[in-house]
Amino acid sequence: MSDIIQLLPDHVANQIAAGEVVQRPASVVKELLENAIDAGATNIKLLIKDAGKTLVQVIDDGKGMSTTDARMSFERHATSKIQKAEDLFNLNTKGFRGEALASIAAIAHVELKTKPTDEELGTCIKIEGSKIVSQEFVSTGKGTSLAVKNLFYNIPARRNFLKSDTVETRHIIDEFQRVALAHSDISFLLHHNNNEVYHLKSGNLRQRIVAVFGTKMNEKLVPIDEKTDIVAIEGFVAKPEFSKRKRGEQFFFVNNRFIKSSYLNHAVVSAFDGLLEQGAHPSYFLYLTVPANTIDINIHPTKTEIKFDNEKALYAMLRATVKHSLGQYNVAPVLDFNRDAGLDTPYAFKSDAKPGAVPKISVDPDFNPFREEHQKEMNFPFKREKQTESWESLYTSVDSTLEQQNASLFEHQQEEKTQKTFQIQRKYVMSLIKSGVVLINQSLAHQRVLYEQFLESITVKEANSQQLLFPVKISFSSAEIEMIYTIKTELENAGFSFDEFTKDSVTIKGIPVSVTESKITIILEELLNDINLEVPDASFSHFDVMAKSFAKTLSIKTGTLLSEREQESLVNNLFSCKEPTVSPFGKATFKTLTLNQIDNLFNS
């Protein structure tokens, strides 16, 4: 047999390697920002076009490259940062693999301009798909500018795989924030489509966190500061009352490198023991400094996980330190996400009051367990007088029912004013049907109702908007404003109308009819949260995420007392839905219990 094994040509090998290093525009952002930091820059600009699909450019004032180095930098395994294997265990730079530029140049149009301090002229190199297109001397400032255009232009499959601009922008902002938070001494600028998203001046840690997340962050921060032989821990945790329902602002940095560690996260969360409501996640910004030779960064290609020598000791130290700081700042154990749930006007009556506000939803007759009942009026297995909470009367009713059980169980009792629904533990609505009972989870059922209403009003683009008497100005971080801006049209379809966007606020002059003014902030905050955390698949649509998010935020919660009318309205609205059986998140909204099943309970 003849020999068949060959070495891959460089540009093919680079393309394959690129698959590891570059998943999306945000990966390019990370690599270029890290290179700028390794080059000792004090000012870094990030310019983005079309969520990075058209352009990712980083301009720094770092040490620059000589012409030969500029050329070399695009070779695979070309790095100035390590020389021998041992160096891997004493890393003080972000990069060390020497793969990023080679990979990026294999799958994009790249233009590098660079000049070291002591040179007169700089170098400009253009590369397309690993091929050098031109190289010339240019006059340029000190430092490096690297522009990456048309990412994945030669790998259509990868390019098509990219998500919506909103999602890709979010990833970019995530990377930018991580790098910016790790280096408060460097000033950063982020422009997206020529709009300034961030201008972060160099400053201390607190200033940087507040600049990134908005001024409202300032009052939330509890400082952490502890030094031992194995680790120095600095940074902030957010007071428990500002914890989030989703993991959002959780940042670990080890030697100024952003990392993920569920182990260390556990240490912090356990320090909050007893201070957080169930399901709440604390926010934190924790900076660990350990001797470079006690960590191994080499275990993950995109380097967000690292291995510690003294993991257990770190855990204990971190937990104790956070606990101590929380104690010192006298953080009281109060937290109640649902505190105002009972004060809100329940949904359905608003829509009742404003006919036309409720989108028409076609009823699927095959789905309605109440159908027969509606045809024949109500049937009740036991007689009841008017609604009463007293248990004695329940027994009376049951007794009287039992007497005539066989005869009248399924007969009409039209003449009586009887109650059709009951609320159980402010959580379930029980409704009597001919064959038994339906148990409806009030919160999940309402999610379904709202979801279908929103979906219809968003997609049919007949938003039912109410103008606010006084426009409301809400402050957000600039990243959040950027996100709201990218989904502005969808929000308008949903019934929002906007007045003015500034860098850190938005003025709202109209809202969907089903939203109360007091809920505007929370519903937008939750929506941003949901979009951020969405790991979108191919079927991802903003409409769906938005309708789900609104439904979840605005639905009546467990613990809300419902009047009889509200209960009935919920039941009717639910069974007018297209898909009444499941919540928008796939949970069952109701269960039926047939008389047979109930009988069986007593026969076993």
List of residues contacting ligand ADP (CB under 6 A): 31, 35-36, 39, 60, 62-65, 73, 78-81, 95-102, 144
The least CB distance from residue 98 to ligand ADP, in Å, is 4
Question: Is position 62 an interface residue for Mg ion (rule: CB under 5 A)?
Answer: no
The least CB distance from residue 64 to ligand ADP, in Å, is 6
Question: Is position 95 an interface residue for Mg ion (rule: CB under 5 A)?
Answer: yes
The least CB distance from residue 9 to ligand ADP, in Å, is 19
Question: Is position 477 an interface residue for Mg ion (rule: CB under 5 A)?
Answer: no
With a CB cutoff of 8 Å and minimum separation 6, the contacts of 553 are: 519, 522, 523, 526, 527
Longest dimension (CA), the chain: 105
Q: How is 7-52 classified by DSSP, letter by letter?
A: PPPHHHHHHHHHHHH-SSHHHHHHHHHHHHHHTT-SEEEEEEEGGG
Comparing CA positions, the residue from 120, 155, 141 lying closest to residue 18 is 155
80 binds, among Mg ion, ligand ADP, none (CB under 5 to 8 A by kind): ligand ADP
C-alpha 484/C-alpha 506 separation (Å) is 9
Task: For 477, list phi and psi in degrees, rounded to 5.
Answer: -70, 160
Closer of 38 and 373 to Mg ion (Cβ): 38
The least CB distance from residue 324 to ligand ADP, in Å, is 38
Would you say 58 and 44 are in contact if contact means Cβ atoms under 8 Å apart? yes
Closer of 102 and 577 to ligand ADP (Cβ): 102
313-332 exposure pattern, b = at least 16 Cβ within 10 A, e = fewer: ebbebbbebbbebbeeeebe
Closer of 74 and 370 to ligand ADP (Cβ): 74
The least CB distance from residue 97 to ligand ADP, in Å, is 4
Which of 35-43, 175-183, 308-316, 496-504 is the region at the interface with Mg ion (rule: CB under 5 A)? 35-43
Question: Is position 35 an interface residue for Mg ion (rule: CB under 5 A)?
Answer: yes
Closer of 95 and 580 to Mg ion (Cβ): 95
107 binds, among ligand ADP, Mg ion, none (CB under 5 to 8 A by kind): none
The least CB distance from residue 560 to ligand ADP, in Å, is 55
Residue for token pair 């919660």: 557
Looking at residue 14, its amino acid is N
With a CB cutoff of 8 Å and minimum separation 6, the contacts of 199 are: 188, 189, 190
Burial group, residue 402, by CB count within 10 angstroms (0-12, 13-18, 19+) = exposed
The least CB distance from residue 305 to Mg ion, in Å, is 18
Reported in sequence order, the residue ranges of 161-306 that DSSP labels E, i.e. its strands, are 187-192, 195-200, 221-227, 232-238, 250-254, 257-259, 284-289, 295-296
C-alpha 291/C-alpha 91 separation (Å) is 10
Which of 98-106, 163-171, 277-285, 431-439 is the region at the interface with Mg ion (rule: CB under 5 A)? 98-106
C-alpha 483/C-alpha 466 separation (Å) is 23
Q: Is 289 helix (H, G, I), strand (E, B) or coil?
A: strand
The least CB distance from residue 587 to ligand ADP, in Å, is 46
Closer of 99 and 480 to Mg ion (Cβ): 99
CB atoms within 10 A of CB 400: 13
Closer of 100 and 440 to Mg ion (Cβ): 100
78 binds, among ligand ADP, Mg ion, none (CB under 5 to 8 A by kind): ligand ADP
Closer of 62 and 381 to ligand ADP (Cβ): 62
98 binds, among Mg ion, ligand ADP, none (CB under 5 to 8 A by kind): ligand ADP
Q: Is 205 helix (H, G, I), strand (E, B) or coil?
A: helix
224 binds, among Mg ion, ligand ADP, none (CB under 5 to 8 A by kind): none
C-alpha 588/C-alpha 590 separation (Å) is 6
C-alpha 221/C-alpha 350 separation (Å) is 39
Would you say 275 and 240 are in contact if contact means Cβ atoms under 8 Å apart? yes
Q: Report the residue closest to ligand ADP, judged by CB.
A: 95
In the list 58, 100, 106, 151, the residue contacting Mg ion (rule: CB under 5 A) is 100
The least CB distance from residue 249 to ligand ADP, in Å, is 28
The least CB distance from residue 291 to ligand ADP, in Å, is 22
Which of 16-24, 28-36, 226-234, 474-482 is the region at the interface with Mg ion (rule: CB under 5 A)? 28-36
Closer of 63 and 109 to ligand ADP (Cβ): 63
Closer of 103 and 325 to ligand ADP (Cβ): 103
Q: Report the residue closest to Mg ion, judged by CB.
A: 95
CB atoms within 10 A of CB 587: 13
How many positions of this chain bind Mg ion (CB under 5 A)? 3
Q: Which residues bind Mg ion (CB under 5 A)?
A: 35, 95, 100
